[in-house]
Amino acid sequence: MPSFEAGDIKILYRENIRVFYNKVQYAQQDGYKEFKQSVFSNKNGYLYSFTGLRGDAKTLYKSIKEGREKRV
């Protein structure tokens, strides 16, 4: 099994990475701001319900953004 060092993994993506939240309000509380407020104006509505990262992928993404995951 390969092992990866800090910065070995690169993620290429055309737009902002979309993350699912049950409510827009929860995304804002979590510090996630990579969405258009004009599109998701209902703070009680879902954020990226069909296209957003969920589960382990969401946890990994948050670790990367917070700087805890050094391999990416």
Please name which of 22, 72, 29 lies closest in space to residue 52, comparing C-alpha atoms. Answer: 22
- The model's pTM: 0.82
pLDDT digits (tens, 9 = 90+) for 17-37: 999 999 999 999 999 999 988
Average pLDDT for residues 52-63, to the nearest whole number? 95
With helix as H, strand as E and coil as C, how does 17-69 read?
Answer: CCECECCHHHHHHCCCCCCCCCCCCCCCCCECCCCCECHHHHHHHHHHHCCCC
* Mean pLDDT score of the chain: 92
Tally the domains of the chain. Answer: 1
- Give me the domain span that covers residue 47: 1-72
Question: Residue 10: CB partners within 8 Å, gap ≥ 6?
Answer: 72
pLDDT digits (tens, 9 = 90+) for 38-57: 888 888 899 999 999 999 99
